[in-house]
Structure 1
Amino acid sequence: MTQRTTVIDLASFQSGLTVDNYKAIGAEYAIVKISESTNYTNPYIRSLIDLSAAGGIKGYAFYHFGRFHNDAQAVAEANYFINAAKARANVKPGTLMILDAEIQGMPTSSVITFLDTLRAAGYRTGFYTYKYLLPNFDLEAIHPHMDMFWLAAYPLANGRAADKNPDFNYFPSTNYVDLWQYTDNLLGYNVDGSITITDNAIKLFNPSTAPAPAPQPKVDQSKPVVNPQTTWTDTLGDTWHSEDGTFTSNQAINLRWGAKISSAKITTLPAGSVVKYDAWSNHSGYVWIRQPRGNGQFGYMVCRDAKTNEAFGTFE
């Protein structure tokens, strides 16, 4: 029996959601807008990922709003999508990348060209549209070129709040549907809500493990090294410093989706665990490190008590 799982999708107009909002929504997966045409990149990509991960989201996919009308434009937009996803969210090959097809006059051949460009770059492909737009596309022709089909059809009027149990009497009975977007106002949070229809959808959202960074030279184990040229403040107000290194724990430590003790836990790593990290931060009484993961995600863990300077392992 297929597990029904809630999925939300996030664009710039959801940038005001807080960690507590995400916890209240209680979704497990999210689809984040990366780009549109060849001249727009969502400026809130990183904060949408960081805040939603701290609020319990455990897997991501990404989408592009297509505006192409021919094959050449489709290739250009697909490459723009890929480059923006890499630059803004560290999206790795194997990640689910989705075309949002909502405009009139988008040829089926160009949809296929867009999806094939993503596949050639090593990504899983998804196709999204509204049920009323399906007559504009040859779904049978597109199907072999997509790994997931995401269809929108709203049982309730646009803007009316919906709960997490859609009325399947209104399910859009179309072939190949993996994910059904059934509301644009889930639980009154003004966020689009979808529900998984197949196990395939859930499988494609599961985060993958990013390749390990190249080995780094050993550094002073007493404290992380600060590079003042690569320091930033995240959306939670915490200052981070870029540093590639390896931390080996000497005790069991929780790995979390956010750099807060209240953030959702990914797992508890046993003593002796080796973690590759790319940044560190001193806040809330601890020194935290950030672990790159797949699908544009990061894991976070404490590595030192900032007050006593006690390290919970060794650095190299």
Structure 2
Amino acid sequence: MGRGDLNDAEWVRLKPHLPRNVGRGGRWKCHRRVINGILFRLRTGIPWRDLPARFGKWQTVYDRHRRWSADGTWERILRAVQADTEAQGRIDWSMASVDSTVCRAHQHAEGARHQPPKWAGKRARPACHRDDEGLGRSRGGLTTNIHLVGESGLRPLARLITPGQWGDAPQMIPVLGGIRVPRPNGGHPRTRPNHLSGDRAYSSRRNRRYLRRRQIKPTIPEPGNQQANRLRRGSRGGRPTGFHEARYVHRNEVERLIGKLKINRAVATRFDKRAYVFHGTVTVAAIRLWLRA
């Protein structure tokens, strides 16, 4: 077993949730070796072609990661591991935190530039990306945003990939909607924490109405301009927003979670051109955190 590979305890937890062989041919042999290859590339960020020979053919490792990212296998494995942790009562639902982080996109993820006709006499323009590819241009260049909701155990409950120039506040509701942890005894999955902390970027009337409707107590400070606007409107401005300063210290947990995820070079820098493959890469990093719990 090499450094960073699955240990025996992690493999025992992961093995029951992996796809099994269907029919003849032994299609899914060597799961552990292939997953160790995916983890090696996740940790080091090297090109797939440069994987060491001990993981087998690099095409096999890459194809399995791409296929499992496309058909939702990684997502199902993550939910199954979360359900196991919930069955043991080791998920802290009392407080969750929301935040986002920017990942610089490598030139291999950018794609080809648009080459205008020769008669136009103009330079090649940068490639235009669709919103569903999660690539956008901001002050840092070509970037991708990872929006996270994490619990107090420094493990992600939900993730969302967006272009780098998209704001944080509009993405709070979609990322909270991604929380679905199956219950051990059946029934509806667990979808909300008791409290949610976030920085000033998430303070908006729309977000606060959403949290009230779902009975989630917010711990989000109100920016100065929003306070001034509320006071200017008088009685029509509504009541002051509640803020629990002692609970706000828990917001550092999601920042520490982001640090744990970005230890992996393939998460800190986006090398994957397609958004669903990069989402699978982030999901593999999240699965590793849940397995180590």
The TM-score range, normalised by the shorter chain, is: under 0.3
- Greater share of residues in helix: 2
Tell me the TM-score normalised to structure 1 length: 0.23
- Greater share of residues in strand: 1
Structure with larger RCO (C-alpha < 8 A, sep 6+): 2
Tell me the TM-score normalised to structure 2 length: 0.24
